[in-house]
Structure 1
Amino acid sequence: MNKQAIKVENLVKNFGKGESLVEVINGASFEVNKGELVALVAPSGAGKTTLLMMIGCVEEPTSGRIWLGDEKVYENRWLTKETRKIRREKIGFIFQAHYLIPFLNIIENVTLVPQTNGISKEESEKTAMELLEYFEISDKAHAMPSELSGGQNQRAAIARALANKPQIILADEPTAALDIKRSVDVVKMLKKIATDQDVAVIMVTHDEAMLPLCDRILKIEDKKVVSSEVPRDTKIL
């Protein structure tokens, strides 16, 4: 059985042209398997979010190749016009801010994408309640985002990211606005999701304290991506 969830080959991303050309990523190649929680680290401005958005079919690369699961989605151009459909069906996004829709309650936020994908209201609500129970906020299903704490809203945002049963979770600084305890809780949750649901998770982080909770580290160095082992001797909560 193929465990590959993400494969990137010789990915390049430039902004601008001529004398104003800026190379952000130049020849990145790596793989991420199902069931892995991988940290993506680099200095500010080194292209972490850009790389994440290319994998997520949001930002178009300059050149290279991207596979999501068994499907090659990019080879020097998008191989489908339906990049939005790929995002809806294969990828869950989690951001530093939860971006819940403020005028929808929690269960309405979580069921929005599945219903957009054609899943019935009944089935999507059943899945949503299972996720909210998993994250221990099922009692908040009919509450508005403004009525929840920051940590509860982030859990709801993770539930929303999982509602379309994605193969891949892309998390951009999901703990940046949280204290150390809540940060650890969120990263442990992402690891549990990766393991329990056989999902590949890439998490952009600046917080080195979170790295021991991950399976592997991807670093952007000299505009390329290198893989390294996790420092297991670091103490965390």
Structure 2
Amino acid sequence: MGQQAIKVEDLVKHFGKGENLVRVIEGAEFQVNKGELVALIAPSGAGKTTLLMMIGCVEEPTSGRMWLGDEKVYDNRWLTKEQRKIRREKIGFIFQAHYLIPFLNVIENVTLVPQTNGVPAKEAEKFAMELLKYFDIADKAYNMPSELSGGQNQRVAIARALANKPQIILADEPTAALDLDRSVSVVKMLKKIAIDQNVAVIMVTHDEAMLPLCDRILKIENKKVVSEAVPEGSRHMI
């Protein structure tokens, strides 16, 4: 077993009250280790994004316990008032839309979070350039997002998610807007990142073609989270 990056015990999420109560997750229990790329799948409306946002300390659970790394962050209540600080320091988010800031160039987008965290500009820029080289877009560092293709912008968004050197990357449908070849390259990139940077990556996806590229599958079934192996005979795709 690798080092624990995320651990969840008896996590529950309800919305509303009384007659309007909607039970989304009932007692989720799972662990994700550093170096793992885990797919999160479920039918539409079954709570995939809600679960991701709870792990990301954006959405408050109803009850349960949650650890990020060795730190217990939630035990039937937040154990810190600094959820935003945890998000900034421990977690990188990647979304279906890249959400790059249109009036900042590529390198300014990537250095924004580290500089907000107090990293000196020169140091932030040096690491940002390393990331852009890693993603083969260093030549676009001073271009505006509008001058890049969709696939290039998604790579910049992934670089931005890594800029704060997170322990955990949460990717919500990162390939939904891409064709099959680009989708495969993004997922392979996420797997490479998991190993190279020793981070845990959870990727929400509805695309079954992406599952063979992952280490494991988490499935929301009957409001519980179950862990499954990747389909047999598919590992050769990696």
TM-score of the pair, normalised by structure 2? 0.98
Distance of 1:205 and 1:155 partners within structure 2: 17
Does residue 53 of the first structure (1) align with residue 53 of the second (2)? yes
Identify the residue that residue 155 of structure 1 maps to in structure 2.
Answer: 155
1:91–1:166: 8 Å Cα contact kept in structure 2? Answer: yes
Distance of 2:237 and 2:96 partners within structure 1: 21
Query: Residue 111 of structure 1 aligns to which amino acid in structure 2?
Result: T
Query: Residue 12 of structure 2 aligns to which amino acid in structure 1?
Result: V
User: Secondary structure at 1:175's aligned position in 2?
Assistant: coil
User: Secondary structure at 1:170's aligned position in 2?
Assistant: strand
Distance of 1:64 and 1:176 partners within structure 2: 31
Identify the residue that residue 194 of structure 1 maps to in structure 2.
Answer: 194
2:2–2:35: 8 Å Cα contact kept in structure 1? Answer: no
1:56–1:91: 8 Å Cα contact kept in structure 2? Answer: yes
Superposition deviation, residue 236 in structure 1 = 5.5
Structure 1: 5+ residue stretches without partners: none
Identify the residue that residue 126 of structure 2 maps to in structure 1.
Answer: 126
Query: Residue 11 of structure 1 aligns to which amino acid in structure 2?
Result: L
User: Secondary structure at 1:160's aligned position in 2?
Assistant: helix
Identify the residue that residue 103 of structure 1 maps to in structure 2.
Answer: 103
User: Secondary structure at 1:103's aligned position in 2?
Assistant: coil
1:209–1:236: 8 Å Cα contact kept in structure 2? Answer: no
Query: Residue 203 of structure 1 aligns to which amino acid in structure 2?
Result: M
Superposition deviation, residue 13 in structure 1 = 0.2
Distance of 1:11 and 1:142 partners within structure 2: 43
Superposition deviation, residue 20 in structure 1 = 0.7
2:25–2:224: 8 Å Cα contact kept in structure 1? Answer: yes
1:48–1:220: 8 Å Cα contact kept in structure 2? Answer: yes
Distance of 1:155 and 1:10 partners within structure 2: 35
Does residue 182 of the first structure (1) align with residue 182 of the second (2)? yes
Distance of 1:29 and 1:204 partners within structure 2: 17
2:24–2:46: 8 Å Cα contact kept in structure 1? Answer: yes
Superposition deviation, residue 232 in structure 1 = 3.4
RMSD: 1.2
Identify the residue that residue 29 of structure 2 maps to in structure 1.
Answer: 29
Q: How many residues align?
A: 237
Identify the residue that residue 14 of structure 2 maps to in structure 1.
Answer: 14
Identify the residue that residue 64 of structure 2 maps to in structure 1.
Answer: 64
Structure 2: 5+ residue stretches without partners: none
Identify the residue that residue 225 of structure 1 maps to in structure 2.
Answer: 225
Distance of 2:47 and 2:10 partners within structure 1: 15
2:33–2:200: 8 Å Cα contact kept in structure 1? Answer: yes
Query: Residue 79 of structure 1 aligns to which amino acid in structure 2?
Result: L
Give deviations 1:130-187, integer Å, cap 9, x for gaps. Answer: 0000000000000000000000000000000000000000000000000000000000
Distance of 2:199 and 2:2 partners within structure 1: 13
User: Secondary structure at 1:211's aligned position in 2?
Assistant: helix
